[in-house]
Structure 1
Amino acid sequence: MERSTEALVENGILEMQELILVSEDQKPLPKLKHWKWWLMVAFNVAFLLVGQSAATVLGRFYFKGGGESLWMATLVQSAAFPVLLLPRFFLPSAKSLPTESTTTTFISKPSVLSLASLYFFLGTLLAGDNFLYSVGLHYLPLSTYSLLCAAQLAFNAIFSFFINSQKFTALILNSVVIISLSASLISDYSESSDQEDHEKKDSKAQYIAGFSCTLAASAGYALLLSLMQFSFEKILKKESFSVVLDMQIYTSFVATLICIVGLLASGEWKELKCEMERSEKGKAVYVMTLVGIALAWQVCSVGVVGLIFIVSSLFSNVVSMFTLPLAPVGGVVLYKEKMDGVKVVAMLLAIWGFASYIYQQYLDDQEAKTTENNGSNAVLDSSSS
């Protein structure tokens, strides 16, 4: 009788823990303790923030220094994926998660054809999205480009609702509306303050092209994040962090091949030598800038995909928005861009929207703790009776 009671308590605690771990907003890795999960979240947040800030600033530096190749700017966003092969080698192979009905029966692995089709589709979407971002970064000032990227959160919220069954609360809705308003301020903002950076005859057309491509890229990026989360949850269903590197390596491989084809087909490869020779900072700085962009984007991408795997695509995107106050400041300090009142208001609105979502995460954490305490009390009461 005593053994039966102990088994009941143990099973009840395990069931309660499983319910908490598979909640929609926070899905820790199955075998990680709570503090280890938060540590992984912190590391991935750091990767995302540092990588995205560095890649954006260096990407603008490439164009400011005389870089003109859009396909080269796109290629470096995925070409450094081989650096991930070393950490991937030391990580354990990803194991399938158990089914809901039993803890001993594992789901069947997706076929090689299914995985190849998945990575090819996501890699193609990644390549197209990177190209659109390159156009936007080329034709827009860094501050305008960064603030306009805030629209991706609004798109991501919509895609997450339909694809990932993301919960909508008043605070999340407020976050989406506020950040969307921040992006709309930039779209209605007269480009007169940016004309010093656009002295070419077709500067107005370039500004419109940059704005349109950046907005389209934001929508595509939001779709990509939601599809990655869907793939982790419904197709791959693995418990090891190695699946994050697999996702990044294979999709980047596909995107790199597409960019190489684009670089060759467009004829831009013929101008790369001349572009390097006429670089304002010299050949060495030109090459190091491209290498730095490539490495920074890989660091950023690992953080992005890691947060999707550990938490959710919407949370990953919210963290991306945290770089908004950093990139415009970098543009002002490094490139002497103007930071006038409209951009300041748009930036503050973006921060307000970010804070709104973070507060929602805080409320969700408090609710989870309450549920955990109630579950523990219920198990103890049932065992004592």
Structure 2
Amino acid sequence: MTTNTIVTQQPQHSRLEKYKRWLRVSLYTILLLAGQCSGTLLVRFYFVKGGKSIWIQTSVQSAGFPILIPLLFHSKKHDKTNVPNNDTSKTKPKLPITFFLYLVFGLMIAAMDLTYACALLYLPLSTFALVCASQLIFNAVLTFFINSQKFTALILNSIIVLTISVTLIALNTESEETKNLSKQKQIIGFFCALGASAIFALHHSLMQFYFEKIIKTETFSTVLSMIFYPMIVGTIGGLVGLLVSGDWRTMGMEMKEFENGSVSYVMTLVCTSVTWQIGCVGMLGLIFEVSSLFSVVISNLELTIAPILAVMVFHDKIYGVKVIAFLLAMWGFLSYIYQHYLDDQKAKEDKSDCLEILKGNGEI
């Protein structure tokens, strides 16, 4: 009688867990898209309205980490009461290894913030978003070597199409919206966007490797730790650059000369800090719940949002070569989405076949 009760309750428990996981993935997706789109808009807004320092933006993008402190303490307290001590003690890396990983990820965050800021200084938002489609190319290659992600026809198709898209953007340097920028600055902006995309993809791949091969635990406190402590390192790196460059001396003047006023200047920087933290929570949550590849795919949904927002907010012009590049980028993005759907369906079928074999053997 007890056995029958367990068997009948198991499907209900499985459905409940599946529903909870779906809610978590949906929440992380919303946080990632809202944080990333808002943060990108605010950085571009800072430069459009008179801001000039890439080091201020580098510091600001990581400086919002203190808002995560209450959530970090809550998640650790939750893990102590819900996760057996043996599950965490066996997989917890040694302190020097943990410190080294925090340092590496923090320096990567600082480099990514710097290159993103530089790209948004010299490129229109719509162009920046299209160049950042290269994240999928870099991620496909890096996950192949780091995370053993297989290449398929759809992924190869996506890489080729996205490469053509980014190449078209690179060749289109004489558009009306960039006529006030020198060709040298446009090239710097383009390669900074490419560099930021490469660092972004490497960060995702290494993060997935960290969760799967090193820490091997599934607690939200570990996810938050990999945001919080590297963000401290990234903030310190940005502040060092701010001090060495001397840009800190110009903050007062920037505030006075900001087109929308000093209050708007401060609010822009504060909101930039907060929105990037929201996006990071969503990003690492998706890595934790699904995979690095899925997180990058969701991140690139911004491709469909950023050009529209750019037209509405900054009056960027979408025409000619950029329209073709946008369509190609969407083609490549949808190829990635469909490949992930096929992988997910295959995983479900394999799991179902395994359960059927176990039932046939009388093990469940």
Any idea what the Cα deviations from partners look like across 1:127-155, whole Å, max 9, x if unmatched? 01210111110011111111101111101
- Quick one: percent identity of the two aligned structures? 47
User: Which of residues 258, 267, 272 is equivalent to 1:279?
Assistant: 258
The aligned residue for residue 208 of structure 1 is: 187
The aligned residue for residue 17 of structure 2 is: 33
Q: Secondary structure at the match of 2:148?
A: coil
The aligned residue for residue 222 of structure 2 is: 243
Partner AA of 1:325 in structure 2? T
Q: Secondary structure at the match of 1:324?
A: helix
The aligned residue for residue 207 of structure 2 is: 228
The aligned residue for residue 342 of structure 1 is: 321
Q: Secondary structure at the match of 1:303?
A: helix
Deviates more, 1:52-61 or 1:185-194: 185-194
The answer to whether structure 1 residue 374 and structure 2 residue 353 are counterparts is yes
The normalised TM-score by structure 2 is 0.90
**Counterpart Cα distance in 1 of 2:351 and 2:192:** 46
Contact 2:91 / 2:215 at 8 angstroms: preserved in 1?
no
Q: CA deviation at 1:195?
A: 3.0
User: Which of residues 313, 328, 339 is equivalent to 1:360?
Assistant: 339
Residues 1:342 and 1:372: Cα distance change in structure 2 (over 3 Å): same
- Which structure carries more helix by proportion? 2
The aligned residue for residue 52 of structure 1 is: 36
Deviates more, 1:227-236 or 1:58-67: 227-236
Unaligned runs of 5+ in 2: none
Any idea what the Cα deviations from partners look like across 1:25-71, whole Å, max 9, x if unmatched? xxxxx9x8112112111111111111111111111100011000110
The aligned residue for residue 50 of structure 2 is: 66
The aligned residue for residue 141 of structure 1 is: 124
Partner AA of 1:252 in structure 2? M
Any idea what the Cα deviations from partners look like across 1:67-115, whole Å, max 9, x if unmatched? 00110011111100110111122114558999xxxx9896252111111
Runs of 4+ aligned structure 1 residues displaced above 3 Å come to: 92-98, 103-106
The aligned residue for residue 24 of structure 1 is: none
User: Which of residues 325, 346, 352 is equivalent to 2:304?
Assistant: 325
Residues 1:342 and 1:85: Cα distance change in structure 2 (over 3 Å): same
The normalised TM-score by structure 1 is 0.86
**Counterpart Cα distance in 1 of 2:102 and 2:324:** 40
The answer to whether structure 1 residue 289 and structure 2 residue 268 are counterparts is yes
**Counterpart Cα distance in 2 of 1:75 and 1:311:** 30
Unaligned runs of 5+ in 1: 18-29
Contact 1:152 / 1:222 at 8 angstroms: preserved in 2?
yes
**Counterpart Cα distance in 2 of 1:182 and 1:239:** 37
Q: CA deviation at 1:325?
A: 1.7
**1:189-200 correspondence to structure 2 within 5 Å:** 189-198=172-181
Any idea what the Cα deviations from partners look like across 1:207-228, whole Å, max 9, x if unmatched? 1111111111111111111111
**Counterpart Cα distance in 2 of 1:339 and 1:163:** 37
**Counterpart Cα distance in 1 of 2:178 and 2:23:** 45
Partner AA of 1:180 in structure 2? T
The answer to whether structure 1 residue 270 and structure 2 residue 249 are counterparts is yes
The answer to whether structure 1 residue 172 and structure 2 residue 164 are counterparts is no
Contact 1:141 / 1:197 at 8 angstroms: preserved in 2?
no
Contact 2:62 / 2:273 at 8 angstroms: preserved in 1?
yes
Q: CA deviation at 1:236?
A: 2.0
